[in-house]
């Protein structure tokens, strides 16, 4: 029965590796310019190319120098062996000394020696090899490197060339010619240094050229990046005016088309949000593939606000004045609705329909609707003070509020639809608005019970409502409780301040 041993990873090693990786990550900059990356890549390619070329040239140079040295040594040894064969055989020492002396006068030759057949030195000049005579075959030259220690306690590399001296095919002796390999090494070193310096100079020049070229190549990318940042900041009118006939030019055209599309989309969204509630517009635009919002039963509150006597008032005004009046007051109603989390469902002539707790979850939608109604009435009262002082007709609202179960969803056809709420609770709110008097907000008794002591209300009579089998007991909302007055007055002040600011801007623009 065999057993297997499973090695567990060392937690200390994992911790060390993780710490090293985190440390390297911290050392890396957050942003590396593309010009630097391009310059680095181009420089590395040039350095690798120049280094490879330098190594190739240096290797060829060394091989050439080595070949020349060996060819010269072989030639000298072969020539000396040919000339020394007869003097060796005839034991003509004077002639042998002349041969070695003449050869030693060459600056490239450090030493020359002529040996008898038994290895006895017959004549020599200069440096002699500190090596045993190698076995020589007929007409074959052998070269052997060796080192000589100099007086400066350094060593010099030498090469000795050994050649057999033959007479009529018979070996009668041998010769040795010694050359300095240090000269070859020095020449190779000088060639290598020249190549290194040339490579460094070319690398520096190539780096500068690569950086300049990379900056030129990355300039369109920087322009595109700046334009993209401008788009991100909301400046959708940003365009790149550069004209190019390459891929970058096509990219610029694509960016400009995209920016124009974003600008058009933003304009459509802004216009769309003015025709429907912003919340509804956001939900529709967030899911363009499925525009139809799902119909769903909800518990919400509906508020109808109607301008009393508007028909008689509009007969005394120009159409432009009627439009200006409605736009002004509807903007106030929209602001008040937004401050309490409601949504403007629609404007019907001189009547506004507001809903609370439909699109966004709101557990206090009844009280928010009542607070919005009180804010509208108080705002109208403040504005009527100015209108009386200016001799203009006053504007009074009658408001009906009701809460209950209703269906929220789309109504209409595929060509034209509208997001709204429908149901008996909505119809009752509309009926209550019709029964209200100027500057009055009425609700049914059930809402007062739900609101308890948070509002100040006065009980009214029971009214027969069209569509209802039993009369509906109504209450008139006079105000909200003092605990919530601070927020109410803050909202009223906010709307009035916004109105004053807009009015001053219009005055300055006219001037």
Q: Are 294 and 302 in contact (CB under 8 A)?
A: no
Do the strands 155-167 and 142-149 form a parallel or antiparallel pair, or are they unpaired?
antiparallel
Q: Are 170 and 145 in contact (CB under 8 A)?
A: no
Which of 431, 406, 423, 283 lies closest to 351, judged by CA? 431
Helix (H) or strand (E) holding 433: helix 424-435
Tell me if residue 347 falls in helix, strand or coil. Answer: strand
User: Residue 24 is encoded by which pair of tokens?
Assistant: 């390297």
Q: Are 161 and 77 in contact (CB under 8 A)?
A: yes
Q: Which residues contact 310 (CB under 8 A, 6 or more apart)?
A: 349, 350
| CB neighbours of residue 415 within 10 Å | 5
Q: Are 87 and 61 in contact (CB under 8 A)?
A: no
Q: Up-side HSE of residue 486: CA atoms within 13 Å toward CB?
A: 1
Distance from first CA to last CA of the chain, Å, rounded?
103
- Bigger pLDDT: 160 vs 28: 160
- How many Å apart are CA 142 and CA 164, to the nearest integer? 9
Kindly list the distances between the CA atom of residue 10 and the CA atoms of 13, 16, 17, in Å, as whole numbers in the listed order: 5, 10, 11
Given 3-state DSSP classes, what are the helix, strand and coil percentages for the chain, each rounded to the nearest 5?
Answer: 55, 25, 25
Render pLDDT for 459-498 as a digit per residue (tens, 0 to 9): 888 888 777 778 889 999 999 988 889 999 999 999 999 8
Q: Are 481 and 454 in contact (CB under 8 A)?
A: yes
Q: Is 209 left (phi over 0), alpha (psi -120 to 50) or beta?
A: alpha
Tell me if residue 371 falls in helix, strand or coil. Answer: helix
- How many Å apart are CA 286 and CA 206, to the nearest integer? 52
**Radius of gyration in angstroms for the set of CA atoms belonging to the chain, rounded to a whole number:** 53
**Long-range Cβ contact pairs of 198-207 (< 8 A, separation 24 or more):** 198/54, 199/47, 199/50, 199/51, 199/53, 199/54, 202/46, 202/50, 203/43, 203/46, 203/47, 203/50, 206/42, 206/43, 206/46, 206/47, 206/50, 207/39, 207/43, 207/46
So what's the pLDDT on residue 2? 47
Render pLDDT for 199-255 as a digit per residue (tens, 0 to 9): 788 778 877 887 777 777 777 777 788 888 888 888 888 888 777 777 777 888 888
Render pLDDT for 395-439 as a digit per residue (tens, 0 to 9): 999 999 999 999 887 777 766 777 788 999 999 999 999 999 999
Which segments of 168-287 are extended strands (E)?
Answer: 170-180
- What's the rounded mean pLDDT across residues 266-278? 64
Q: Is the pLDDT of residue 187 over 70?
A: yes
Q: Are 447 and 401 in contact (CB under 8 A)?
A: yes
- As a whole-number percent, the residues of the chain with pLDDT over 70 amount to 84
So what's the pLDDT on residue 353? 94
Q: What average pLDDT is seen over the chain?
A: 82
- As a whole-number percent, the residues of the chain with pLDDT over 90 amount to 29
Render pLDDT for 39-98 as a digit per residue (tens, 0 to 9): 777 778 877 887 788 788 878 878 888 888 889 999 999 999 999 999 988 889 899 999
Q: Are 456 and 419 in contact (CB under 8 A)?
A: no
So what's the pLDDT on residue 285? 61
106 φ/ψ angles, rounded to the nearest 5 degrees? -75, 125
């Amino acid at each position: 029965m065999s057993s297997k041993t499973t090695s567990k990873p060392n937690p200390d090693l994992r911790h060390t590796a993780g710490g090293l990786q985190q440390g390297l990550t911290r050392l890396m900059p957050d942003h590396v310019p593309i010009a630097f990356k391009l310059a680095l890549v181009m420089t590395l390619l040039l350095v690798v190319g120049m280094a490879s070329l330098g190594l190739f040239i240096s290797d060829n140079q060394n091989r050439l120098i080595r070949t020349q040295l060996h060819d010269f040594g072989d030639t000298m040894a072969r020539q000396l062996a040919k000339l020394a064969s007869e003097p060796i055989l005839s034991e003509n020492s004077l002639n042998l000394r002349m041969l070695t002396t003449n050869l030693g006068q060459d600056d490239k030759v450090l030493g020359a020696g002529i040996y008898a057949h038994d290895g006895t030195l017959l004549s020599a000049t200069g440096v002699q090899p500190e090596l045993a005579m190698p076995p020589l075959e007929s007409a074959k030259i052998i070269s052997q490197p060796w080192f000589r220690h100099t007086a400066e306690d350094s060593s010099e590399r030498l090469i000795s060339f050994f050649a057999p001296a033959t007479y009529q095919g018979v070996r009668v002796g041998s010769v040795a010619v010694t050359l300095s390999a240090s000269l070859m090494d020095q020449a190779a070193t000088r060639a290598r240094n020249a190549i290194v310096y040339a490579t460094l100079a070319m690398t520096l020049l190539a780096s500068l050229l690569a950086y300049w070229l990379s900056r030129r190549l990355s300039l369109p990318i920087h322009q595109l990046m700046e334009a993209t940042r401008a788009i991100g900041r909301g400046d959708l009118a940003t365009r790149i005016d550069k004209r190019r006939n390459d891929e970058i030019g096509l990219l610029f055209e694509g960016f400009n088309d995209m920016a124009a599309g974003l600008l058009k989309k933003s304009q459509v969204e802004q216009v769309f949000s003015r025709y429907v509630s912003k919340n509804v517009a956001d939900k529709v635009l967030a899911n363009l593939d499925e525009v139809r919002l799902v119909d769903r039963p909800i518990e919400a509150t509906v508020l109808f606000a109607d301008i009393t006597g508007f028909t008689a008032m509009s007969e005394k005004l120009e159409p432009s004045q009627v439009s200006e009046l409605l736009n002004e007051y509807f903007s106030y109603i929209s602001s008040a609705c937004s401050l309490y989390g409601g949504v403007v469902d629609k404007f019907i002539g001189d009547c506004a329909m507001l809903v609370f707790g439909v699109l966004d979850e709101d557990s206090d939608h009844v009280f928010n609707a009542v607070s919005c109604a009180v804010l509208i009435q108080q705002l109208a009262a403040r504005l009527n003070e100015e209108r009386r002082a200016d001799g203009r007709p006053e504007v009074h609202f009658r408001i009906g509020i009701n809460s209950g179960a209703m269906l929220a969803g789309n109504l209409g056809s595929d060509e034209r639809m509208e997001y709204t709420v429908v149901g008996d609770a909505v119809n009752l709110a509309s009926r209550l608005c019709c029964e209200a008097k100027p500057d009055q907000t009425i609700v049914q008794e059930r809402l007062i019970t739900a609101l308890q002591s948070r509002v100040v209300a006065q009980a009214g009579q029971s009214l027969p409502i069209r569509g209802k089998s039993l009369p509906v007991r109504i209450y008139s909302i006079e105000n909200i409780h003092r605990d919530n007055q601070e927020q109410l007055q803050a909202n009223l002040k906010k709307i009035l301040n916004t109105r004053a600011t807009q009015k001053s801007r219009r005055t300055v623009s006219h001037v």
